[in-house]
Each structure stands twice: as structure tokens, then as C-alpha cells.
Chains A and B, each alone.
Chain A
Amino acid sequence: MLASLVGFLHDFDKAEEAAQEAFAIAAERWPASGVPPNPGAWLVTTARNRAIDRIRRERTLAGKIHLLPVPEAVMEEIDETSIKDERLELIFTCCHPALPLDGQVALTLRALGGLETAEIARAFLVSEETMKRRLTRAKTKIKATGIPFAVPGAHLLPDRLDAVLAVIYLIFNEGYSGRVDLAAEAISLGRVLATLMPDQPEAHGLLALMMIHHARRQARFSGQDGEDLVLLEDQDRSLWDMPQIAAGRAVLDRAIALGGRGAYVLQAAIAALQTAELIDWPQVAGLYRRLADLTGSAVVELNRAAALAQAGDPAAALRAVDRLDLDGYLYFHSTRGELLRRLGRDAEARAAYGRALELATSTPERRFLTRRLDQL
């Protein structure tokens, strides 16, 4: 409802006010007159009309022309299908690269996910005051700088869609490290985007990637408080959500059928391969190579090396890893440690795991690395 109102009014604050007003009217009328046949559409229409009234009043008071054109009020059209879906425009506004990244994330969750400011604050471990300021700053910049409520033109679309996908994936990854709510939120945003942009393979690729990863969440942690990180090869597959994996694979098929060969499609394909009974590691390594060519990322190279090791060649994997400049990265050292262990070089493996442990910040990571060290 909020998304529809912001998209319609092109103003976040007016939309929130109007939504509150509509709810208040409903609370007053519905007990007496009964709930209308289509409550959602009724609320949106009522809120829109209230907002228009308010804009008209303010204009008369101010006695001057505002930039915002007054939309026409239509009270008769209380039909879900007649309300234009303005969510896509809103997605591009919220994820505009001119906004700071934390503001894009917060605004997307607020306006499109419909989360309360307090909920977003909790999810990102900041105070409600901080989150409120973050949202206000983003909304103010949209208004002051004239960030449009529009889907960018074809020549701008690839870059801008990348920005949208990055925000959704960032939300997903925040949820992946333990706060499951955000991951589910990201998947539902990804689904909205894929539905609204059915021809964009990367939108489907991202959705597939998130679905397949999310389907394995129960198996990624173990122990009494879910404090232990479990590697893919050690995961209890009976904990995987198989229907969601199948659904994710279907979304991936759609992305590939659309000719998708981008970074999210490749990552989803890798994730899908890794759900097979017998994992085709050479193929996984091959996909990582294509992903590395595309992104030039050393972290992707590191993953490729790990796949090479799984394919049976830890020596080649170690050579690939040692070419990388990733000294400050935990998984660089833990991967080296694992490869050295497999090659029987225990002393060096211990040193590498020790370095990884120094860089670990979360409890599951620390416990995992300590266990590995103990096993050596």
C-alpha cells in the first residue's frame, strides 16, 4: 500500500500521512458499515483521495503553484486492477546511486518492504534515531535534488538495474549471516522485481541465487544455539528445503532461457550445481572462471581454487591461491589452511588457520576455525 502511494504521490512523507489517515478512517467506518469487498484497494483509493485533498488545500493556502502536478481523484475506481503498479518506479528511486548505500537499503525496506523504522533499525543493529535520520536524509535528497520516480531509459537501464540488484543482494546477505527475516524480505523484493521486469535475466538470476542459498539455511548452522558453521560438504541434506531449491532452479532456467550470462546468473548456476547429489566440481570451477573473467574479483578466484581442490587437485588450487593478494581476507587464510592440510603440510596449515582466526569477527566463524585448528 505504501509503495503504491509513494509511487503515486512522488513524496514519501505525504504517502505515510495519507496511509495513516486511511487506516484511521477504516477503523472508524468498517465496524459499522462492514469491510468493503476489496479492503486493500479501498485503503489505497481513500489514501490517494485524502492526499489529493490535502495537496489542494495546501496549494490554496500557499497561493502558488507547486512543482507537483495534482493527480485526478477518482473515487469510483475501487478495483485492484485499475490501480497502476508503481512499485517498479519506486524501486529505481529508492536504489538511486546518488543516495548513500545505507540510505538506499533503508528506504527500500521501508517503502517497498513496508517495514517499520524500528524494525529496520533492529535488523541493522543501529538505534531507531540513527535509522530515522538515515531515512530522512535519503528522502530529503530525493526531494531536493529531483531524483525522478521513473524507470530509467534503455541506455541507463543496465547500470541502474545493477544498482537495484546490488541493494537487494546486500539486504539478503545481511539476513544470511543469521537474521533470517531480512533474507526473506530480500527474496520477496527479488520476486517483485523479477515479476515487474520479466525480460531481465539478471533479475531472475538474483532471485534464483537467493532462493537456492536460502533453501540451505537450516543446514548451514548447527549446535545448540545454531552457533556452528557447517561447510557445504558436511551439511545434512535432509534439512534442505527441496521444493524451494526446485523453484529456484526453475527461476534459473528462465534466466538462462532469456540469454542470461551475467554475474548473478553464473552464481545461481554454481549454487544450483552445488545442490546436486554428486557435485560436478570441474564444471563449478569452470563457472567460477567465467565469473572471475566477468568481475575481475580475487575472491571469485579464491572460490575457483577451492572448487579445483574439490575436483581433486589441491596442489593446483594452492598455486592459484598463492597468486592472490587477499591478505586481509579471512577466507583467503582459511582456504589456504584447508589446502595445506590436505597436502599434509600441517605446520603451515596451522599458521594459516591462526591468521584466519585473527581476522574472524563473528562467533560461528571463530568457533569453526578453532575446531579446525584443534583437529590438526
Chain B
Amino acid sequence: MQYALMIYAEPGYAEGLPEAEREAVLAEFTALLDDPRCVASAQLQPAETATCVRVAGGRTLMTDGPFADTKEVLGGLFLVEAANLDEVLELAARVPVTRFGGVVEVRPVVTR
């Protein structure tokens, strides 16, 4: 089954970390990217770069900023292929943001 791991963290959480810790975080992300179960991934630019688009009455409306105004913002995502939820939850717990107050939302992907 395929799952999306959506990574929510407080913006700039990594900047506050000591150098060694930051390197460890980077290494953990790299290890996840290198995991054979990782199908695709994307790291997003900061939430300030977000634009929300709606269409009302044929007109395209644009607003600056992310869709949800929360402390933690979507920072990136992984697509993984795994046998079952337990396997994915283990991968999700390895995403380093989870140690610094961040959250990983796990959702199965619709198969066609």
C-alpha cells in the first residue's frame, strides 16, 4: 500500500538547534530518503511563499499565506510504499521533526 507522510513543524525549528543536532536531523532525513520504501518526497519552501487560490463566480481569487493559519505548517511530504500501517507508523516516528514538537500525518493514498 502507498501512504503519504505529511510533515508539519514549527517554521525555523531547526535554526534554534545546536550545530551537531542540526547535522543529525539532516542525516536522519537523508536516511529516510534513501530508504527503499520511499517512493517520492518533496521539501517545501517556507509558508510565507504560499498562495491560496479559489475560484468564485468565474473569478480567480488569490490570498497570500498558507491555507490553515496554525503554529505548525506543512513543510514537506514523503510518499512511501509499505506492507501495512504499523510499518509506516515506524517510518513516521523516524521523521526527526517528531522529536521537536512537530507532527507527521499519515494517510493512505487512493489506489486506482
Contacts and interface: CB of A to CB of B under 8 A. Distances in A.
| Pair from one complex | yes
Interface of A: 67, 96, 98, 144-148, 150, 152, 156
Contact of A148 (B86, B106, B107, B108): B86
A338 B31 CA distance: 59
B2 to A, nearest CB: 10
Interface of B: 1, 82-86, 88-90, 106-108
Contacts of A146: 1, 82-85, 88, 108
A145 B88 CA distance: 10
B84 A147 contact: yes
B86 A144 contact: no
Contact of A98 (B1, B82, B85, B90): B85
Q: 3 tightest CB-CB pairs across the interface, nearest first?
A: A148-B84, A146-B84, A146-B1
Nearest to B2: A146
A146 B1 CA distance: 8
A152 B86 contact: yes
B84 A98 contact: no
B42 to A, nearest CB: 22
B108 A98 contact: no
A144 B84 contact: no
A215 B85 CA distance: 40
Contacts of B82: 146
20 contacts: A67-B1, A98-B85, A98-B89, A144-B108, A145-B85, A145-B106, A145-B107, A145-B108, A146-B1, A146-B83, A146-B84, A146-B108, A147-B86, A148-B83, A148-B85, A148-B86, A150-B84, A152-B86, A156-B86, A156-B90
Contacts of B106: 145
B80 to A, nearest CB: 12
Most buried by B among A144, A145, A150, A156: A145
Contacts of A67: 1
A366 B107 CA distance: 46
Nearest to B89: A98
Contacts of A147: 84-86
A67 B108 CA distance: 15
A150 B85 CA distance: 11
Contacts of A152: 86
Contacts of B1: 67, 146
Contacts of A96: 85
Contacts of B108: 144-146
Contacts of B85: 96, 98, 145-148
B94 to A, nearest CB: 13
A156 B89 CA distance: 11
Nearest to B108: A145
A62 to B, nearest CB: 14
Nearest to A156: B86
Nearest to B88: A146
A145 B85 CA distance: 6
Contacts of B89: 98
Nearest to B110: A144
A49 B82 CA distance: 30
A114 B83 CA distance: 29
Given A147-B85, A150-B86, 4 more contacts: A146-B82, A148-B84, A148-B86, A152-B86
A343 to B, nearest CB: 45
A156 B85 CA distance: 13
A228 to B, nearest CB: 47
Contacts of A150: 84, 86
Nearest to A97: B89
A271 B90 CA distance: 37
